[in-house]
């Protein structure tokens, strides 16, 4: 088993095809490991404070695993530490390595590659699925290492299991939600027309509806006195370019919910990995009384079942509407690997303190009220 540590994006681009083949064949294939994702994110977000660190693991000339990271100084109180994070940051719903070979042991390779590096103090991966092999490796890292490990399970991945089909699933949804859906659907049909799900196809449509989605997002947040992430130009440009790239590679799953000549809601998902993977959704706030977001979900469930697929993946972190719809929750972990040095120990101690404060509901409520005042 050999490894290569790529520190130049051009070097990574040269292996992008074989990298993607390996990602596609890996367990729990993640779109946030595709070369196009890494390349597009680096193009939009990198600056001279960042250094690329992409692990590529080989066995007999074949890529059997990988982990795309970048290095930069921590933010705020963590500015003393060099932190390695998954490429993609907040736009990567999973931040984990891929294992194309179930027998691969990645942790010893990571430790070997980084043990002599002087420019980093910790690795932080914010969203690692419970079935990723790195979780078990870090639970039992073995003796004689120069690192400390910490796993924090404080959020979940949400999904809808549609194994029994649409009717069986809908029979498990609350009566209140079903009544609300029927009422809003009838109200919408009587005023604008029957809701229809339409697929978004081709570069021009992707660009057109993404720009409309951005407008929906900005307006909806503005009404609530909040800022949409899409006020950030880099964030917006990244998604526009990556969605078009996914469409070009036939890996985009995008739809609009329309009634008559009105576009009520827009959905973008990735056709990569198991099932339907939902990334972005937004609706025209002018039609909020029809609950277009909920009607969109109902139509997408019909579409997914008509394809014979059984998973509607909503990715991580809790939202009230996820709890209303999703019948499957699986743990996501935050994973920390710290050097056994003064800086590494201080980074770990600060993280522990931050987590303790966040778990204190009284403090959280105080901070939330202070922000609102």
Q: Which two tokens stand for residue 250?
A: 């036939």
pTM recorded for the entire structure: 0.92
Mean pLDDT of 200-207: 96
Using the 8-state DSSP alphabet, how is residue 148 labeled? E
Measuring CA to CA, which residue among 227, 292, 233 is closest to residue 257? 292
3-state secondary structure at position 279: strand
Position 363 scores a pLDDT of 52
CA distances from 102 to 20, 98, 106, 131, 361 (A): 17, 10, 11, 12, 41
Position 372 scores a pLDDT of 45
Q: Which two tokens stand for residue 212?
A: 């409309």
pLDDT digits (tens, 9 = 90+) for 158-176: 999 999 999 999 999 999 9
Measuring CA to CA, which residue among 250, 242, 273 is closest to residue 26? 273
Mean pLDDT of 301-315: 96
Position 366 scores a pLDDT of 47
What is the DSSP annotation of 308-361?
T--EEEEEES--HHHHHH--EEEEEEEEEEEESSHHHHHHHHHHHHHHHHHT-H
Position 144 scores a pLDDT of 63
Position 373 scores a pLDDT of 47
> pLDDT band at residue 365, thresholds of 50, 70 and 90?
low
| Four-CA torsion 114, 120, 122, 127, nearest 10 degrees | -80
> pLDDT band at residue 112, thresholds of 50, 70 and 90?
confident
User: Which domains are present in the chain?
Assistant: 2-156+331-372 (3.40.630.30), 164-309 (3.40.630.30)
Residues 6 or more apart whose Cβ sits within 8 Å of residue 358 = 364
Position 361 scores a pLDDT of 57
Mean pLDDT over each residue of the chain, to the nearest integer: 92
């Amino acid at each position: 088993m050999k490894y290569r540590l790529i520190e130049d994006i051009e070097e990574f681009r040269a292996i992008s095809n074989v990298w993607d083949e390996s990602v596609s064949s890996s367990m729990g294939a993640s779109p946030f490991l595709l070369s196009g994702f890494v390349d597009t994110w680096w193009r939009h977000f990198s600056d001279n404070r960042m250094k690329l660190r992409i692990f590529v693991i080989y066995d007999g000339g074949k890529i059997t695993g990988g982990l795309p990271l970048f290095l930069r100084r921590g933010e705020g109180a963590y500015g003393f530490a060099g932190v390695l994070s998954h490429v993609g940051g907040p736009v990567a719903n999973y931040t984990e390595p891929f294992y194309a070979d179930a027998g691969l042991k990645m942790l010893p390779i990571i430790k070997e590659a980084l043990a002599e590096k002087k420019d980093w103090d910790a690795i932080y991966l914010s969203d690692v699925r419970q079935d990723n092999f790195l979780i078990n490796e870090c639970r039992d890292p073995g003796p004689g290492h120069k690192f400390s490990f910490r796993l924090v399970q404080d959020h979940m991945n949400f999904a809808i299991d549609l194994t029994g089909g649409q009717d069986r699933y809908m029979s498990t949804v609350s009566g209140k939600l079903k009544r609300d859906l029927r009422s809003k659907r009838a109200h919408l049909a009587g005023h604008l027309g029957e809701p229809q799900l339409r697929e978004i196809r081709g570069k021009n449509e992707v660009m057109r509806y993404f720009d409309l989605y951005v407008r929906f997002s900005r307006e909806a947040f503005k009404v609530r006195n909040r800022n949409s992430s899409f006020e950030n130009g880099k964030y917006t440009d990244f998604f526009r370019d990556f969605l078009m790239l996914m469409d070009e590679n036939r890996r985009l799953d995008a739809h609009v919910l329309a009634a008559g000549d009105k576009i009520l809601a827009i959905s973008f998902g990735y056709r990569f990995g198991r099932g339907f993977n939902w990334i972005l959704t937004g609706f025209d706030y002018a039609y909020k009384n029809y609950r277009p977001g909920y009607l969109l979900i109902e139509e997408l469930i019909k579409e997914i079942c008509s394809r014979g697929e059984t998973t509607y993946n909503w990715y991580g972190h809790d939202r009230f509407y996820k709890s209303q719809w999703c019948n499957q929750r699986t743990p996501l972990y935050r994973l920390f690997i710290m050097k056994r040095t003064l800086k590494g120990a201080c980074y770990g101690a600060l993280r522990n303190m931050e987590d303790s404060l966040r778990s204190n509901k009284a403090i959280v409520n105080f901070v939330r009220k202070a922000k609102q005042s």
